Chain A
């Protein structure tokens, strides 16, 4: 395949960025999107141009490191995948592909296509943890949890924190991420100890970091690589309102 790539280049966090157009030839349609980016960077190096900076790590869809807003969609034109799982066969020969970083006040750009997602860590530090009592290992059968509840908690826990929900939301809202982290703990007995504090602390941190307000458009669950439902957002709202009512 021969491609044209319209890529956002930005020297550092403070610099003003702009799009650059690159041509790339002889890409096999079976290569992944990030392999194509690697080939592009090799070509740029040989031409004496600085390679494009982008985030990636495991390249098998579980680490949540890769981002990229490709042709107007978070993680590109496919559903329930991360950018590293996107293949070039999803594009047409001769196509111009637009590649942009996540755009949100909560995720400032570090360089080119890399954004700083420390905001998610800060939200987790505000309340996404459980108390661990010291002592012997508790008996596994001492805390019975029904399968439905365990499954739902597990669904929420599949969130890899990639930020696609924020990137795709027209309000840059982080509600799907926060609701997953609240849900996975709220559903299980281990998370009950901090239940009244958790939702309030995490929502307050989320608001402080410059994310927008959720307007229930449902765009996030479509672009979530793990296909997590916005029903978890309803649970977060419930947890938050209950905690406020109890005060």
Chain B
């Protein structure tokens, strides 16, 4: 087993497993977020559910661990890969047509997503769980008291001074994530050995659809709030 952990395929195995786990997380997170399009009450009910459901609470530290493993292994592998070329690199490299831009820049895209993630956590999760905010004053929905998470989200994107900046940063984050997924999705299945000439095409198409849905889905929220809130 120690040989497995230090082998190249072993490390990549953890990259794919954690990657696919994060893909599932994105799906849950996006579904919850899209409740916002159905108005403040719908969003508050969903965020109250996410904040109190025991299964979600158990999954939170596991999710954090998933992120950490994915990032640490990515760093290890990228450092090794940069060393593998040797001291003298090529003077001239023509990129072959087949490799997508995303596939060659996964670490950069991942770093952008991580930077966005830190900002995103400070904007919402941190305020809800740790510091609190006057915007979160309790509201009553269907006879149940809950935090007004909608007000916190809407305030960020409709702020007089910084609303537009935050919206653009969030849309940019969604685009970076989408590009990361265009390569990451099928690549995870390839690394797990669940691919051949036929399935590679299927995973790639599915990956692009998923990336488009996730990127578009997350980008809609700031756009929606800017235009309609």
Contacts of B7 in A (CB 8 A): 200, 203-204, 207, 240
- How does the 8 Å CB contact mask read for B21-50 relative to A, with 1 for contact and 0 for none? 000000000000000000000000000000
Whether A218 pairs with B80 at a CB distance below 8 angstroms is no
Whether A219 pairs with B91 at a CB distance below 8 angstroms is no
Whether A72 pairs with B84 at a CB distance below 8 angstroms is no
Contacts of B4 in A (CB 8 A): 244
Interface residue? B161 (CB, 8 A):
no
Contact pick for B90, options A72, A222, A241, CB 8 Å: A72
The answer to whether residues A234 and B84 also contact, given A72-B94, A207-B7 and a CB cut-off of 8 A, is no
- A interface SS class: mixed
- How does the 8 Å CB contact mask read for A223-247 relative to B, with 1 for contact and 0 for none? 1000001110111111111101001
Question: Contact residue range for chain B?
Answer: 35 or more
Closest chain-B Cβ to A55's Cβ sits at a distance in Å of 18
Whether B86 pairs with A103 at a CB distance below 8 angstroms is yes
Interface residue? B151 (CB, 8 A):
no
Contact pick for B96, options A104, A219, A239, CB 8 Å: A219
Interface residue? B191 (CB, 8 A):
yes
The answer to whether residues A231 and B92 also contact, given A104-B84, A172-B85, A218-B98 and a CB cut-off of 8 A, is no
Contacts of A241 in B (CB 8 A): 9, 13, 192-193
The answer to whether residues A217 and B103 also contact, given A103-B85, A206-B8, A212-B84 and a CB cut-off of 8 A, is yes
Interface residue? B190 (CB, 8 A):
yes
The answer to whether residues A237 and B187 also contact, given A105-B86, A211-B84, A231-B200 and a CB cut-off of 8 A, is no
Whether B103 pairs with A218 at a CB distance below 8 angstroms is yes
- How does the 8 Å CB contact mask read for A87-121 relative to B, with 1 for contact and 0 for none? 00000000000101001111010000000000000
Q: Provide the bound-state CA to CA distance between A168 and B183, in Å.
A: 19
Whether B84 pairs with A172 at a CB distance below 8 angstroms is yes
Whether B193 pairs with A234 at a CB distance below 8 angstroms is yes
Whether B196 pairs with A170 at a CB distance below 8 angstroms is no
Q: Provide the bound-state CA to CA distance between A54 and B66, in Å.
A: 48
- How does the 8 Å CB contact mask read for A55-68 relative to B, with 1 for contact and 0 for none? 00000000000000
Interface residue? A32 (CB, 8 A):
no
Whether A215 pairs with B8 at a CB distance below 8 angstroms is no
Q: Provide the bound-state CA to CA distance between A200 and B163, in Å.
A: 54
The answer to whether residues A221 and B98 also contact, given A231-B197, A234-B194, A240-B9 and a CB cut-off of 8 A, is yes
Whether B81 pairs with A212 at a CB distance below 8 angstroms is yes
Interface residue? B104 (CB, 8 A):
yes
- How does the 8 Å CB contact mask read for B130-150 relative to A, with 1 for contact and 0 for none? 000000000000000000000
Interface residue? B3 (CB, 8 A):
yes
For A175, give the chain B residue with the smallest CB separation.
B8
Interface residue? A190 (CB, 8 A):
no
Closest chain-B Cβ to A167's Cβ sits at a distance in Å of 9
For A200, give the chain B residue with the smallest CB separation.
B3
Contacts of B94 in A (CB 8 A): 71-73, 77
Contacts of B83 in A (CB 8 A): 105, 212
* 7 nearest A-B pairs in the assembled complex, by CB-CB distance: A238-B193, A212-B84, A72-B94, A171-B81, A172-B84, A234-B195, A237-B193
